Structure 1
Amino acid sequence: MIIERHSLAKELPEFKEQIHNLKISNAHFAKLFDEYHNIDHEVIRIEEGIENTSDEYLEGLKKQRLDLKDKLFDMLKAA
């Protein structure tokens, strides 16, 4: 099974330069970006079978990842 990564640059390629700029200039954006990246990495490890957990936990992580993506997207649009 192919596990798809959900990096922010892949999810929002039109904002790639703005993502880079905001990571450098906006501490809040950088913090949310790091949280998004860490959760995405954990989801991938679970989906690849490297880590085991309940389906409920995995779904909770995916919801957190989506919530962070929405917040980051709003910040990118406002920039």
Structure 2
Amino acid sequence: MADLLFIVSRTEPKRYMYLRHVYADESRDVILDRRGGERRQSWRQPPVERRHVERRHRDITRELASSGWALVTRPAAK
């Protein structure tokens, strides 16, 4: 698994293809942003929150909007 991850905005398919080509043999993965918003559709809060911590370590929304991509590090495997 790659130690660095390029996340490319869904509005930048050409940049995605370019980065995939450039880093094909490197220790970097390139993926399209898969976030589509919150999955919960109800306005009510669930009776018990099952997540104990936020899974995302850094909010990359602004980076994707301004530059079309973000570079993040993956945590070490346990």
TM-score (norm 2): 0.33
TM-score (norm 1): 0.33
Bigger helix fraction: 1
- Please say which structure displays the higher CA radius of gyration: 2
Structure number with greater CO (CA < 8 Å, separation at least 6) is: 2
